[in-house]
Chain A
Amino acid sequence: MPDLFTHLVAARLPGAFVRDRRLQALLVIGTFLPDLAAKGLVWVLWSREAFAHASHSIVGVLVVAYLASLLIEESIRRPGFILLAAGGLIHLVVDLIKSYLGNGAVALFLPFSPVPYEFGLIDPENVILLVPLDAAILAAAWLVERRYARVQQ
């Protein structure tokens, strides 16, 4: 979990437009789900790293989001699943921006194709440069949310 702040900000920005705070919290948790699933498999269950790669695929995100949504009460399970899955998919997009020398960061289409993809925009070792930018975006999202809430009143 080297750059959870970036993942948080990436989910928090669209989250500013979600009125229900519970669903907003699920969107943010959803963006951590792929890493929580992967680290849980490798660190807790001692599975091989290749086994955990499925958590960072589109199908993997949908299934993990569905499993997590089953733990939510029935009345908000369907929107909960949508927000968890949306958070997970945002996570994949953020991971895609990293550069792994052309080796690919995310095998998006597992189990259909094991080919990993990347946009290659930032060195994973340079994610610290994103921290001030993330803080600025988070502040902007907070201000937008406050203004939006005031208009609603």
Chain B
Amino acid sequence: MFSNRYFRLKLAGALIVIALLGISAARRGESINPALWRCVAQPERWNRERLWLPAAVIVSARDADFEIDSGEVRIRVDGRAPAKVGDAITLTAIFHTEGPRLEMVRGRALPPLSRLRWLVEAVSVVVLLGVLANFARHFAFRPKVLQVEKAP
């Protein structure tokens, strides 16, 4: 399994298995947390499906419902707004064809620290560069296939 025998076959086999896993995940996981824009584009297909919105902004609120802007879609949500108008929230909800509208299951305001996300991403880039540098100290990449062995 770890020898160089049938190396290309093993390489191709691993790539094929990864592709099949991806296809299987795409098929079986399609109905899990569908994107809101898909639900709005095909309301009949996604009626009563549960979805998760990672981030949306409350644009208006009343006692029993509120409206959100997800960046792609504006939609009414049944339930009490979990934050003030203008605040960013995350929520899980059930999509309903009539309207269309969402029925909130759980929701919460995004923490103020989410504005510092860029800092975490900057740290992540530095970490990645450091790890790759450390990796290059221990391993060399020499693709034989592209090397010209002799001058013509």
Contact B113 A63 (CB under 8 A): no
In contact, B32 and A60 (Cβ under 8 angstroms): no
Residue pairs across A and B with Cβ atoms less than 8 A apart, 27 shown, are A1-B125, A2-B117, A3-B124, A4-B123, A22-B138, A25-B139, A28-B134, A32-B128, A37-B18, A50-B25, A50-B26, A50-B30, A54-B21, A59-B21, A63-B18, A67-B15, A70-B10, A74-B4, A77-B2, A101-B91, A101-B106, A101-B108, A107-B29, A125-B113, A125-B114, A126-B113, A128-B119
The chain B residue sitting closest to A29, CB to CB, is B135
- Residue ranges of A at the interface with B (Cβ–Cβ < 8 Å): 1-5, 8, 21-22, 25, 28-29, 32, 37, 41, 47-48, 50-54, 57, 59-60, 63-64, 66-67, 69-70, 72, 74, 77-78, 81, 100-103, 107, 110-111, 114, 116, 123, 125-129, 131
A27 to B88 CA separation, bound complex (whole angstroms): 37
Most buried by A among B23, B116, B139: B139
* List of 7 A-B pairs having minimum Cβ-Cβ separation, nearest first: A125-B114, A111-B24, A4-B124, A54-B25, A54-B21, A67-B14, A114-B28
B85 touches A (CB below 8 Å): no
Interface size class of B (residues with CB under 8 A): 35 or more
A5 touches B124 (CB 8 A): yes
A60 B128 Cβ-Cβ under 8 A: no
13 additional contacts (CB under 8 A) given A21-B138, A63-B21, A107-B25: A4-B124, A4-B128, A32-B128, A50-B30, A50-B32, A53-B29, A54-B18, A74-B2, A77-B2, A100-B54, A101-B52, A102-B106, A131-B123
Q: Does B110 contact A (CB under 8 A)?
A: yes
Q: Does B22 contact A (CB under 8 A)?
A: yes
Number of A-B contacts (CB under 8 A): 140
Instruction: Considering the complex, give the chain B residue whose CB is closest to the CB of A53.
Output: B25
Task: Establish whether residues A54 and B24, one from each chain, have CB atoms under 8 Å apart when the complex forms.
Answer: yes
Residues of B within 8 A of A101 (CB): 52, 90-92, 106-108
> B interface vs A, CB < 8 Å?
2-4, 7, 10-11, 14-15, 17-18, 20-26, 28-30, 32-33, 50, 52, 54, 90-92, 106-108, 110-111, 113-114, 116-117, 119-121, 123-125, 127-128, 131, 134-135, 137-139
Q: Which of B15, B17, B108 counts the most A-chain CB atoms under 10 A from its CB? A: B17
Contact assessment for B4 and A110 in the assembled complex, using a CB-CB cutoff below 8 Å? no
Chain B contact surface mostly:
helix
